[in-house]
Amino acid sequence: MQLDDLYRRVIMDHYKNPRNRGKFEDDAVTVDLNNPTCGDRISLQLKIDHGVVSDAMYTGEGCSISMSSASMMTDAVKGKSLGEALELASRFSALMQGEPVEFEEYEDIEALSGVNKFPARIKCATLAWNALRKGIESEQ
């Protein structure tokens, strides 16, 4: 088992220098999700204008995998239509199943492919994406 497969430099960078961390001051679609088995929690906020995610932010507590995943996800979905964002979420699920998926529009996400070899950590990586799905579904 190679730890560096899991903790790639890109992941540690998102963990230590999170993007989009914080809260919007005005109204936004807000999803609070936690992982009851481990205590990780995320509060995701989406700005949705005319069917497009115009902006996204998050706050939360969790391990390097869950928080870096939230950082990448919020970056990746900005400017995407709701359909495109859901499609990204599906591709992320496939990545967690070990399928060779590419994220040409946001390559950082591919760094999380190693999580697949650490089954106990998959739920950490998917927390933010599950929150995204929930937020979009609440708007549809």
The reply to whether 120 sits near other proteins by the rule CB under 8 A is: yes
Q: Segment 37-56, which members bind other proteins (CB under 8 A)?
A: 37-41
Question: Based on CB atoms, which residue is closest to other proteins, 37 or 140?
Answer: 37
For residue 77, give every residue at least 6 positions away whose Cβ sits within 8 Å of its Cβ, in sequence order, or none.
46, 53, 56, 85, 88, 132
Nearest distance in Å: CB 14, other proteins: 13
Nearest distance in Å: CB 38, other proteins: 4
Question: Based on CB atoms, which residue is closest to other proteins, 12 or 94?
Answer: 12
Identify the three-state secondary structure at position 73: helix
Q: At what angle do helices 64-77 and 9-16 cross, to 10 degrees?
A: 80
Nearest distance in Å: CB 36, other proteins: 9
CA atoms within 13 A on the CB side of 69: 33
Is residue 86 within a helix (H) or strand (E), and if so which, with residue range? helix 82-96
Q: Closest Cα to residue 43, out of 137, 128, 126?
A: 128
Q: Segment 56-85, which members bind other proteins (CB under 8 A)?
A: 61-65
Piece in contact with other proteins (CB under 8 A), picked from 4-12, 46-54, 98-106, 131-139: 4-12
Name the residues that contact other proteins, by CB under 8 A. 1, 3, 6-7, 12, 15-16, 37-41, 61-65, 118, 120-121, 124
